Amino acid sequence: MTRRLRTFIAVDPGEPVRDRLVALQDVLARSAQGVKWVGPENLHVTLLFLGEVGDRDVPALCQAVADVCAAQEAFALEVKGVGTFGPPNRPRTVWAGLGAGQAELVALHDALELPLMELGCYRREARRYEPHVTLGRAKGDGDNEMLATALTRHANWKGGEEEVSEVEVLSSELQPQGPLYVVLSRAKLSRAGRRKRAEEDE
């Protein structure tokens, strides 16, 4: 019997950046009401959400991701700024934004779409891809003026920079305490361009 896995593809922000993201969550939580904050181990930048994928299709999926990533160069990703989907005083989602590396993430997302659509495990979304790190999700639609003020105060927050050298394929299993993410595979990005530039600088 085929088991179906709730699957997505993401980038890990790295431990130093994650620690700063958690510290930011702690600060915002003092002003927020009714927000469920993402656990530290689950903070990431989603590239594509695939939904339910049969376990027999996972090897082909992971290979397709590996093939795409091998043709993409590693890059630096800067995490900075905060914002919301929905009005700041009634947000649906609270997120941390990105600086340098956004264009590379979008290019990686775009490169992954076609081969995964051909595999039949992904359907292109109508909305434009906007890379970010989800910090928390609102549990209700109550007014949250204190959170809006805190977000304004931290608009120029900086989380630091980390090199993105691999992409993860993960499954998500919903549990009472929150989703449990399991890494199904890691796909390495190319370092050829970086090596060449380093040699030219010597």
Catalytic residue set: 44, 132
Half-sphere exposure of 164 (CA within 13 A, CB side): 27
Residue with tokens 């600086």: 99
DSSP lists the bridge partners of residue 172 as 181
Note the helical H segments in 5-144.
15-29, 58-70, 102-119
* Residues 174 and 48: beta-carbon distance below 8 Å: no
Query: Which amino acid is residue 128, in one-letter code?
Result: R
Strands 35-37 and 166-175, by their bridges, are unpaired
Burial degree of 196 (CB within 10 A; 0-12, 13-18, 19+): exposed
What is the rounded CA–CA span in Å between residue 10 and residue 13? Answer: 10
Query: What is the maximum span of the chain, computed from C-alpha positions, in angstroms?
Result: 58
Note the helical H segments in the chain.
15-29, 58-70, 102-119, 145-153, 192-201
